[in-house]
Amino acid sequence: MTKAEAKNRVELLRKAIERHNHSYYVLAQPAISDFEFDLLMQELQGLEKKYPELQTLTSPTQRVGSDLSEEFVTVAHRFPMMSLANTYSEEEVRDFATRVEKAFDEPVEYVCELKFDGTSISLTYEKGVLLRAVTRGDGVQGDDVTTNVRTIRAIPLQLHGKDFPSDFEMRGEIILPHSSFEKLNVEREDIGEQPFANPRNAAAGTLKTLDSKEVAHRNLDSYVYYMLGNDLPFTSHYDSLQHAREWGFKVSEHTCCCKGIAEVLQFIRKWDVERRKLPYDTDGVVVKVNSYAQQRALGFTAKTPRWAIAYKFKAERALTRLLSVDYQVGRTGAITPVANLEPVKLAGTVVKRASLHNADQMALLDVRLNDMVYVEKGGEIIPKIVGVELFQRPADSEFLPYITHCPECGEELIRLEGEAKHYCPNEYGCTPQIIGKIIHFISRKAMDINGLGDETVELLYRHELIHNAADLYTLKDKRMQMIELERMGEKSVDNMLESIEQSKQVPFGRVLFALGIREVGEVTAKKIAEFFPSLEELRQADLEQLRSAYSVGEQIAKSVLAFLNDEKNKLLLVRLIEYGLNFKADAKCLLSSNLGNATFVITGTLSRPREDFKAMVERHGGKVTSSISKNTSYLLAGEKAGSKLQQAEKLQVRVLSEEEFMSMIADS
């Protein structure tokens, strides 16, 4: 590889790694496996080592990804949440043990634990009570997600017994069991939302959900695996875990104390097979030195402890031939390339198709027709191509260009800034988008119209009885035409028409969700309807007012405005209003109007969860937003208020203490 070629490859790798970092840590939507990511990072590190002049301070090799969110209070970790050194090699596990044992003249015990495939959490307890739950973040600071974590039944709010330290932290993993994951994805598909790729993705996304009731509904689980504190009453890691179990923590029953490296490798080999029988995902085994004294003696590198290593299982993969590539068009116009493969058995099922994700991923893989490709199951669920066997590539193979026009309607594709996918902009003339929007509109968590499945919508569209969601409310005048269609008996048509009529009673928040505004999910639509209780008020809002609404960020606000300002959407809304749909929220039962429609932002640590204060504001006539602006009336600030307090002072927004706020609502 020449220096020029190396430079081009480094730039491609950096862009890919940064995109995957963002997908994994911020969006909780990983597109590739850990093994694939590690290979990309190792290749980049190798090129930067070989060509030092290509190194930069902004390279992904110089920093750690983060899952920080602007929607949560950022909290500094008392003890840094460091990463573990990863390996896929038993030989490197042996090397780890050799380095450790050379440091001591006494025997070394190891604790082997299953490496749960979820999202890390740090739990702080004071006097046996859960004080705070914080995500890993960037390892130095993370997001305070205590309100959501309190809904997880596996995490004790009050410890059992009396022998626990007065102040300590437990580190653990929040996971989504297979049963809960499958149920959640069925619900998401039912309302037309993209299913989660794997349980880890779902767990991470759920933990960052702003509605703690939705978090409780998803049935997250948790296991703890490490205790931290200044004066812990234990001499070993294994002993601390046994006591933690007695206090009410969920500790894996498979955790094992091993006398030497032979027992460690036996544990790894056993669970590389047995893990498939577990009710949750694991992606490896963590090996830790048991003795706390030996851990302290070994210490840390800049990023990882020297007394622990993570052995990661390789995902099961198969080699097969790529026959062709289809390009699927989603409801939002997003294009997804899908590979058609020679059938191959993988993880107990026959795989014929696999995801190629997007144009960047196809270019990174340099995948070509008739290539022999490696296929894995992402999270052991969704098949995807992860590599090409170049030694078997045909001599006459040619680069496979990404399509430039929509495969359904022929419209030229666009790619929005900062996004990996291409889109078809012809949302009103592209059949899959039109049908997809109608299917989303009728889904259970939207308008909940019974008797109208995907096939029926396609049938009605194909016979030109409907062209958009508003046309559903004209079907009562086409009853006889519907009855004459295949699989459309008189009774089923009448039931469908009755359900369409009943949908006019659906609340405003669900109607907003049904419209299929890009970026606006079920919870966000509900929040918007609470803040702007009628379509008319929503239409009058500008970008800043939309951004100030609770849980609505800038991208969502721009998407809402774009939808409302589109001429065809305006006509659609006029028709839906004429047909009697509910575009005004029901008046809430207020305890008082003391707050006079004032707008509040809540920050800092208060005596009760923030959701409780939000409810109090709303029950006394106020509104709650997520960010400070010139439209904010008050900042309700607890301890450690942080940057929002500074913003309020800069904008001259009045700051209230908890006591002052309670006095405002007292006279009711």
- Per the CB < 8 A criterion, the answer to whether 255 and 172 are in contact is no
Q: Distance between CA atoms of 205 and 523, rounded to whole angstroms?
A: 13
- Per the CB < 8 A criterion, the answer to whether 372 and 321 are in contact is yes
- What is the bridge-based pairing of β-strands 634-637 and 599-603? parallel
Amino acid at 592: S
Residue with tokens 């862009």: 15
Closest CA to 312 of 278, 268, 374: 268
CA 408 to chain centre: 30
3-state SS assignment for residue 106:
coil
Query: Which is the catalytic residue, given 3, 49, 102, 115?
Result: 115
∠ CA 454-459-465, rounded to 5°: 115
H helix or E strand, kind and range, residue 434? helix 431-442
Q: Distance between CA atoms of 555 and 143, rounded to whole angstroms?
A: 21
Handedness of CA 169, 170, 174, 180 (dihedral sign): negative
3-state SS assignment for residue 290:
coil
3-state SS assignment for residue 577:
helix
Residue with tokens 């058995």: 345
CA 73 to chain centre: 18
- Per the CB < 8 A criterion, the answer to whether 112 and 50 are in contact is no
The answer to whether residue 127 is catalytic is no
- Positions annotated as catalytic residues are 115
